[in-house]
Chains A and B, each alone.
Chain A
Amino acid sequence: MRKYIIYSIFLFSVVAVIISCQNQETIDLQNYMSNGKDIYKAKCQNCHGENGEGLGQLAPPLTDSVFLKTNKENLACIIKNGTNEKITIHGKDYQEKMPGFPELADIDVAQVMVYVTNSFGNHQGFVPYSKVSTQLQNCR
């Protein structure tokens, strides 16, 4: 009988740990989303629009989930350093220069990236700051 109680307590605590872990990630995601939104408004919205709709052929929309997914590893670098490369979004070419935002700390880049990839119809989920930090060290 005692064994059963100990087992069940053990099982219960394992389950509790898992649940609280998930909660922590949800909390982090919410955190990143709300901070990311503020950064987006200050740095990105001018060109990319309130709803990520872009601006003519000057600034691409941020609604192409396929592009965001295939360039997942590269997004942090684009946000921080800008880009000169021609990119294709929703089948349209964009080749205007995007300015870099070197003033953004790694955590800011992570938050705004998570915001963009989980707004405007995108659902890519959470990426922790540590991972973004590594990506930023390996920018081309």
Chain B
Amino acid sequence: MNKIISSIAIGMLSVTILSSCQQEKKLPFYGERYAETIKDAAGVEKIDTVYQTIPNWAFLNQDSVLTTNKATDGKVYVADFFFTSCSTICPTMHRNLMTVYNDFKTNPDVMFVSHTIDFKYDKPSVLKKYAQKLGVDNAKWQFLYGSKDSVYTLAEKNYLVAVGEDSTAKDGYIHQGYLVLIDKDRRIRGAYDGTKEDQVEQLKKDIPVLLAEYKK
């Protein structure tokens, strides 16, 4: 009898340990980082890690409204770089991102931001038409237009996505198809290839994990 009880107890203990292990799941941090010495509330010096963050930005959105980082501040958001006349990877990226958008449509803590890299043609009116035809009709998914310099710098230095003009490419531009996941403190927490369904599925699983980090 004792044996049975003790084996049940051991079983329950191991289940508890295992399940508590799983709850520890946290997304990684991407980009540069450095250590900084800070003082906590009690005045004790501590070493803290400072991660790369997305700087302030300001662009015109699909409604020609000046939109800044205030729109995404305090939210988890997914950013990507595309252009409307792209016939290669963009349609697939946005087809897949659309499924993520539909999943989190009603969640006020999640947003989507797509930057066009076609500074010549993709004016806000073009972006508006594109958004409507894709099936996006609300402010949760912003399509942003900016100067070449500001968008390209933001892509390469801050979101770590390669973009560029290329006259030899079929549509005139080349870029990577990453969907970059940013947390509420503007840190990069994930990058998913938007052309691969399995990675987009992973993004869908990771967004709730990231949101859960803030619930504690």
Residues of A within 8 A of B (CB): 45-47, 49, 55-59, 96-97, 99
13 residue pairs A–B, Cβ–Cβ below 8 Å? A45-B92, A46-B87, A46-B89, A46-B90, A46-B91, A56-B134, A57-B133, A57-B135, A58-B133, A58-B134, A96-B133, A99-B170, A99-B171
The reply to whether A56 and B135 form a contact with Cβ atoms under 8 Å apart is yes
Interchain CA distance A47-B135 in the complex, whole Å = 15
**Complex contacts, A49 vs chain B, CB 8 Å:** 95
Interchain CA distance A97-B87 in the complex, whole Å = 10
1/0 per residue, CB under 8 A from A, across B120-147: the answer is: 0000000000101111000000000000
**Complex contacts, B171 vs chain A, CB 8 Å:** 99
What's the A-B contact tally at a CB cutoff of 8 Å?
A: 32
Of chain B, the residue at the smallest CB distance from A98 is B87
**Complex contacts, B133 vs chain A, CB 8 Å:** 56-58, 96
Interchain CA distance A45-B91 in the complex, whole Å = 9
Interchain CA distance A59-B95 in the complex, whole Å = 11
What's the dominant secondary structure at chain A's contact region?
A: loop
What's the dominant secondary structure at chain B's contact region?
A: helix
The reply to whether B134 and A47 form a contact with Cβ atoms under 8 Å apart is no
Of chain B, the residue at the smallest CB distance from A58 is B133
Interchain CA distance A46-B88 in the complex, whole Å = 6
The reply to whether B87 and A47 form a contact with Cβ atoms under 8 Å apart is yes
Given the interface pairs A56-B134, A57-B133, A96-B133, the reply to whether A47 lies near B91 with Cβ below 8 Å is yes
**Complex contacts, B115 vs chain A, CB 8 Å:** none
The reply to whether A55 and B87 form a contact with Cβ atoms under 8 Å apart is no
Q: A55-B91, A58-B134 are in contact. List 19 more A-B contacts (CB 8 A).
A: A45-B92, A46-B87, A46-B88, A46-B91, A46-B92, A47-B87, A56-B98, A56-B134, A56-B135, A57-B132, A57-B133, A57-B135, A58-B91, A58-B130, A58-B133, A96-B133, A99-B87, A99-B170, A99-B171
